[in-house]
C-alpha cells in the first residue's frame, strides 16, 4: 500500500531530533529551514556545534526530551534506543521517524528540489534513498530556473481572480493558454515585452509584471 504524501507546516512547532550524526543533522537542518523549533540531543557536544539555531542538549537522551514534540526523529546508530525513542514519542502523541526502520516509522522524507515556492519531492517508498537523490539531480539539471518565475506569475494572477464565481475553471484556462504560448520559454529568454503582450492577450486587459510584483531576473539563464 502506498504512503500518503503531504507537505507539513512545521513553522513554530517543536520537533526533536535524537542523535546528531550525519543523518540527524540533515533532518535538523531541514526542520530549521522550515521554521520549526528544533531540539537536538546528542552526548557528543562536538556534533552540535553547527546547530546554534537549535536548542541543543549535549547529553544522552531522556524521555522528557520529547515533551510537547510534534515530530520526533530517532537518528542514533543504536537500533534499540531508536525503538525506545519511538515508543516514548508515540505515548506523547508525536509522529516519529526512525532512521533505521522505515517500515516501523510514521513518515519518511523525500529528496527535495526547490525553485522558490516550487517544490519537487522524490520518494522511492524506502526502496533506494540514493536513487531519490540521483533522480532529483537529473530533474534539477533539466528544469530551468524559469519555472519558479512561472509559478510567481501564475500565483499572482490566481490571487487577483479568486473572488470570481467560476474562478477554478478561469484559473485553469488562463494557465493552459500561457503554457501553450510557451510562457516558460519567454521567461527563460528574459523577453519582458513578449511576456507583457502575452499576458494582455490572454487576460484581455493590460497586466504588467510590475503590477503583479514579479521580477524576471531570477528566471533567465
Ligand X SMILES: C[C@@]1(CC(=O)O)c2cc3[nH]c(cc4nc(cc5[nH]c(cc(n2)[C@H]1CCC(=O)O)[C@@](C)(CC(=O)O)[C@@H]5CCC(=O)O)C(CC(=O)O)=C4CCC(=O)O)c(CCC(=O)O)c3CC(=O)O
Ligand Y SMILES: NC(=O)C1=CN([C@@H]2O[C@H](COP(=O)(O)OP(=O)(O)OC[C@H]3O[C@@H](n4cnc5c(N)ncnc54)[C@H](O)[C@@H]3O)[C@@H](O)[C@H]2O)C=CC1
Site residues (vs ligand X, CB under 6 A): 26, 30, 97, 99-100, 102, 108-112, 123-130, 132-133
Backbone torsions φ then ψ of 48, nearest 5 degrees: -100, 0
Choose the one of ligand X, ligand Y, none that binds residue 41, judging by a C-beta under 5 to 8 angstroms depending on kind. ligand Y
Pairing between β-strand 111-115 and β-strand 118-122 as defined by DSSP bridges: antiparallel
Q: How near is the Cβ of 28 to ligand Y at its closest, in Å?
A: 11
Binding site for ligand Y (CB under 6 A): 18-24, 41-44, 47, 60-61, 75-78, 81, 99-100, 129
In the block, residue with C-alpha cell 479568486: 162
**Directed axis angle between helix 167-180 and helix 192-203, to 10°?**
140
Q: How many residues does the chain have?
A: 221
| 3-state DSSP assignment of residue 120 | strand
| Residue (49 or 172) nearer to ligand Y, CB | 49
Question: Could you tell which of ligand Y, ligand X, none binds residue 110, using a CB distance below 5 to 8 A set by kind?
Answer: ligand X
Q: From the list ligand X, ligand Y, none, which binds 125 (C-beta under 5 to 8 Å, kind-based)? A: ligand X
State the nearest-atom distance from the C-beta of 100 to ligand X, in Å. 5
**Residues 217 and 186: beta-carbon distance below 8 Å:** no
**From the list ligand X, ligand Y, none, partner contacted by residue 133 (C-beta under 5 to 8 A by kind):** ligand X
Which one-letter DSSP state was computed for residue 114? E
Out of ligand X, ligand Y, none, which partner does residue 170 contact, by CB within 5 to 8 A per kind?
none
CB of 11 to ligand Y, least distance (A): 23
Q: Which is nearer to ligand Y, 22 or 53 (CB)?
A: 22
Q: Looking up cell 478561469, which residue turns up? A: 170
User: Which residues have C-beta within 8 Å of that of residue 20, sequence separation ≥ 6?
Assistant: 28, 40, 41, 42, 44, 47, 48, 51, 75
CB of 101 to ligand X, least distance (A): 6
Alpha-carbon distance of 13 to 41, in angstroms, equals: 17
Secondary structure letter of residue 93 according to DSSP: T
How many Å separate Cα 37 from the centre of its chain? 16
> From the CB of 140, what's the least distance to ligand Y, in Å?
19
> Least distance (Å) from ligand Y to the CB of residue 196?
46
- Residue 130's binding partner among ligand X, ligand Y, none (Cβ under 5 to 8 angstroms by kind) is ligand X
65's grid cell: 526530551
Residue closer to ligand Y, measured from CB, 14 or 99: 99
Nearer to ligand X, 99 or 183 (CB): 99
Amino acid at each position: 500500500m502506498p504512503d500518503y504524501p503531504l507537505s507539513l507546516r512545521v513553522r513554530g512547532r517543536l520537533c526533536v531530533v535524537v542523535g546528531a550524526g550525519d543523518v540527524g543533522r540533515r533532518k535538523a537542518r531541514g526542520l530549521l529551514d522550515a521554521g520549526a523549533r528544533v531540539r537536538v540531543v546528542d552526548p557528543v557536544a562536538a556534533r552540535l556545534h553547527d546547530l546554534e539555531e537549535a536548542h541543543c542538549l549535549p547529553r544522552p537522551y531522556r524521555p522528557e526530551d520529547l515533551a510537547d514534540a510534534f515530530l520526533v526523529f530517532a537518528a542514533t546508530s543504536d537500533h534499540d534506543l531508536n525503538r525506545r525513542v519511538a515508543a516514548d514519542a508515540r505515548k506523547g502523541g508525536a509522529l516519529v521517524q526512525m532512521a533505521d526502520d522505515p517500515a516501523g516509522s510514521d513518515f519518511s522524507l523525500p529528496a527535495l528540489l526547490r525553485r522558490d515556492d516550487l517544490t519537487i519531492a522524490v520518494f522511492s517508498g524506502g526502496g533506494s534513498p540514493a536513487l531519490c537523490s540521483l533522480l532529483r539531480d537529473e530533474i534539477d539539471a533539466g528544469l530551468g530556473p524559469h519555472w519558479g518565475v512561472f509559478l510567481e506569475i501564475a500565483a499572482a494572477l490566481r490571487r487577483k481572480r479568486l473572488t470570481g464565481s467560476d474562478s477554478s475553471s478561469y484559473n485553469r484556462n488562463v494557465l493552459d493558454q500561457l503554457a501553450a504560448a510557451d510562457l516558460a520559454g519567454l521567461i527563460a529568454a528574459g523577453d519582458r515585452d513578449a511576456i507583457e503582450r502575452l499576458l494582455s492577450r490572454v487576460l484581455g486587459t493590460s497586466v504588467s509584471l510590475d503590477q503583479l510584483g514579479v521580477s524576471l531576473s531570477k528566471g533567465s539563464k
